Structure 1
Amino acid sequence: MAAKRIVIVDDYEESCKLLAEILGSTYECSYTSDSMSAVNLINSKKPDLILLDYKMPGLLGVDVCREVKENEATKNTPIIFVSGAATIDERIKAFETGADDFISKPFHVKELILRIKARLSEKEPDVAAELTAANLKMNLLSRQVYVDGEEVNLTPKQFDILKMLVAAKNHLVTREKCLMEIWGDTEVTSRNVDSQINYLKRKIQKFNGRIVAVPSLGYRLEAQE
């Protein structure tokens, strides 16, 4: 099977090269540090996914995103923004113009790879774009969470932990699984998981279910079907 194609757009060429080196063993990567030529590269390569910086001279990332999404031939291509120090307004603008995901610099390589895998798998049929548990709903495409119809603002790690819990609804999710899949090779302990879970519980207080600790093992999200 041919490798999936990824186009990387970042005005800092070293960032392009680094991403291409990281992903090159799994994906066919092309890149440009010139935002003005980005759309032409995308049209010629017909990638399966685009990694796009937000703040660039010439065309902003949102301008490139808009052109890609307005083109019939590329409108279904997933776009992940990879950008540093983005404001909430900039993140919202990115999603409004068609972004599928947004990851902030500096990022963990494991997280980026998992995000890419998730977006590429969503192109396949029958892959759920939404998870629900009682009155809680998670949109996996926009990475938004709602409880009783009200949006809850979560950090990326809190979102990913909640996603794991909801996907395994009423079943154990171990601390080791959280550490491996969310923190990757970063040197953290199970206390980091516990801390994020506590923040998460406070943020979803109106959830008609509960996150319970399983002593010495991990956590389980309990909710009625």
Structure 2
Amino acid sequence: MNMFTTPQPIMRGAALAAKKIVIVDDYEESCKLLAEILSSTYDCSYTSDSQSALNLINQTRPDLILLDYKMPGVMGVDVCRMVRESETTKNTPIIFVSGAATIDERIKAFETGADDFISKPFHVKELILRIKARLSDKEPEVTSEISAANLKMNLLSRQVFVDGEEVNLTPKQFDILKLLVAAKNNLVTREKCLTEIWGDTEVTSRNVDSQINYLKRKIQKFHGRIVAVPSLGYRLESQE
């Protein structure tokens, strides 16, 4: 489908303080269906033109984005990457809602910065529960900052600094590093990463390994190292 659709707001029944969701899918009927399902609880806007998606997201500043993977022109992973590269939207939860995706496509989505992936056809209750999980208020952190040697993590602003210089991490990389720093010098299993960061999303330990490799390159100035524990997981060793 090669058509431009003006971003459409759907707010029937939504409270003034309702959290905002942007829906991006090249099939307009899918956009309308998702908006109808969610509009009683959320303030929904949508577009079926992927090239206008970023403008809608920047204009709306949504609390969550529902994104199709396979779209003509600008693919869903490209939209995801641009969202993650923007300072104002880099922490916005992104859930891919797409049909018949291969495991490689799913992994690509997560590597690009997706928080979740739901395959079509989906059960409405599952979609709503996954959205609620991503939008739910987190428990207050016991502390606002954790550190290891010359690496510091601000848990409120979700910023990472090595020798005082900010390191740009994706949300998944930040969460993995947080687990490693919190368990400093102790094992963090791949299973723990998968459970606490990806939940029940169908990904494999290969995805954890991939994110760890990216993470190592980004914190090269850290006075320590991330060590692989064969067949189990990883350990962050800090030179205090």
The TM-score, its normalising length taken from structure 2, stands at 0.55
Note the 1:81-100 alignment, pairs <5 A: 81-82=64-65, 85=79, 87=82, 91-94=86-89
Alignment deviations for residues 105-160 of structure 1 (CA, whole Å, 9 cap, x no partner): 4241798666545x4313xxx63222211111122233221111112122222111
Counterpart of 2:185 (choices 141, 153, 170) is 170
**In the superposition, relative to structure 1, how do residues 172 and 105 fare at CA in structure 2: closer, same or farther (>3 Å)?**
same
Post-superposition offset of 1:185: 2.9
**In the superposition, relative to structure 1, how do residues 15 and 135 fare at CA in structure 2: closer, same or farther (>3 Å)?**
farther
1:61 and 2:60 correspond:
yes
**In the superposition, relative to structure 1, how do residues 174 and 14 fare at CA in structure 2: closer, same or farther (>3 Å)?**
same
Question: Could you say which residue in structure 2 is the equivalent of 1:185?
Answer: 200
The answer to whether the 8 A contact 1:8-1:16 is kept is no
The answer to whether the 8 A contact 2:64-2:135 is kept is no
1:33 and 2:49 correspond:
no
Question: Could you say which residue in structure 1 is the equivalent of 2:94?
Answer: 104
Identity %: 55
The answer to whether the 8 A contact 1:210-1:222 is kept is yes
Q: 2:163, 2:130 → 1: CA distance?
A: 29
Q: 1:10, 1:208 → 2: CA distance?
A: 41
Question: Could you say which residue in structure 1 is the equivalent of 2:20?
Answer: 9
**In the superposition, relative to structure 1, how do residues 56 and 187 fare at CA in structure 2: closer, same or farther (>3 Å)?**
closer
Alignment deviations for residues 176-218 of structure 1 (CA, whole Å, 9 cap, x no partner): 1112222333333323222221221111110011111222211
**In the superposition, relative to structure 1, how do residues 147 and 193 fare at CA in structure 2: closer, same or farther (>3 Å)?**
same
Q: 2:186, 2:84 → 1: CA distance?
A: 37
CA RMSD after TM alignment: 3.7
Q: 1:18, 1:129 → 2: CA distance?
A: 37
Post-superposition offset of 1:166: 1.0
Q: Which amino acid aligns with 1:103?
A: P
Q: Which amino acid aligns with 2:44?
A: S
The answer to whether the 8 A contact 1:82-1:105 is kept is yes
**In the superposition, relative to structure 1, how do residues 19 and 121 fare at CA in structure 2: closer, same or farther (>3 Å)?**
farther
Q: 2:130, 2:45 → 1: CA distance?
A: 26
Q: 2:202, 2:171 → 1: CA distance?
A: 18
The answer to whether the 8 A contact 2:21-2:63 is kept is no
Number of residues paired by the alignment? 169
Post-superposition offset of 1:165: 0.7
1:121 and 2:139 correspond:
yes
Q: 2:190, 2:215 → 1: CA distance?
A: 15
Q: Which amino acid aligns with 2:94?
A: S
Q: 1:219, 1:111 → 2: CA distance?
A: 28
Question: Could you say which residue in structure 1 is the equivalent of 2:106?
Answer: none
Post-superposition offset of 1:162: 0.7
Post-superposition offset of 1:14: 4.3
Unaligned ranges ≥5, structure 2 = 1-16, 24-31, 47-52, 68-78, 97-114, 118-128
